[in-house]
Structure 1
Amino acid sequence: MLDKIQLENILFLDIETVPEFENYSDLNTTTQQLFGTKTQYQRKDDFTPEEFYERAGIWAEFGKIICISVGYFTFKSDIRHFRVTSFFGEEAKILKDFSNLLDNHFGQPQHILCGHNAKEFDFPFIARRMIINSIPIPQKLNLFGKKPWEVPHLDTMELWKFGDYKTFTSLKLLTSVLGIPSPKDDIDGSEVAKVYYEEKNMDRIIIYCEKDVIAVAQVLLRFRREDLLIEEEIIHV
């Protein structure tokens, strides 16, 4: 099945998210209560809602998207390239620009979106934040009424499971066992909010996000038993 998909029809992506507000105290009383209720199971009695707020970026109701990085293959004669670019800045603009990309360049039936753990996180997070920001959901993210085999999504973590639903395999672990250079050579997801709010270093986050996109593409190449990308084939635009 994977061998029959043309690589140039796949849009690889990754998102970075942070708490919608820098501090728990910035939330109004109602939202603080809702956050406490939402996270009660995860926190147990170990953390107060305020202590747990640094993790708010994993919930679309309390987080926001600060970067969407995408990558796609191009082929000209025997020359293969992988082009990577990022959308960042104000969240509504990120979502609108990403939606335009899907509608104008990756909206055809043969086009597929691909990420790691993207079916559980990236795809639904993007769609939920689009609703919150009153942005129409593009067809590639609108799953209403679709049968499972009609959903145009690939998930490298799901592919690695081979039907085993009891396990979570991180991208860092998967790249390690497959002999792919690790994308986690600077920061990891738990540090993104600090880099964003305290260091205000958006460039560092973009680099991190784009490395994840490249790593997902490399994983899919390994699944297809194809040569991994080399640095000269990767173009940042």
Structure 2
Amino acid sequence: MIQESFRPYDQLFLQLESYLPSAEDGAHDLSHLQRVWQNAKVIQAVEGGDLEILAAAVLLHDCVQVPKDSPLRSRAAALAADQARTALKLLQWQQDRIDIVAGAIESHSYSAGLTPTSLEGSILQDADRLDAIGYVGIARCFYTAGRMGSALYHPNQPEPIDRLADDKCFALDHFPKKLLTLCKGFRTPTGKRLAEERHEKLQEFYTGMLAEIAP
């Protein structure tokens, strides 16, 4: 069962289950939480940090979901942080630990543009962004583009050289506009190392696809 992958915090998973994302968005579902948790544990094992706080932050970081193309997208993390405060207060968590979880959630989002103020916040941000790059990141990119009704790429100029990248219309534009820039923003040394490995996969795919569709 999925909660077993969150051991030793499988009971926390069950306590927070009603707040977890549905399967409606396959890029932000329970499988995404599992992958982010695995990333967080790998980073925490080297960098330190409170693993229970990380578990709560991972479980609740997408508890309020806002579509990528919504004007409220930049508020999603703040809304999730508020919901996390409510959830953890009901579980009678100490206020200082709630604050760390909420702060980590609020700063994890790329759209929010915030700098984490705790080690746990840095780890959550790194763990979540690792899932946006590499092979899984490529799959999530095209999955999300399909949900948004985007084309694969601009038919006349697949690589945005003489035009602005428009990833709302063209999936491939999401690579130069965002995905290929993420590697520079990782917070922890372990996160940076893992990001560099996945960045190479992104770059290889992007270069290869451009070569295949070149006239």
Task: Classify the TM-score, shorter chain.
Answer: under 0.3
TM-score, normalisation: structure 1: 0.24
The structure with more helix, counted as a fraction of residues: 2
Higher relative contact order (CA 8 A, sep 6+): 1
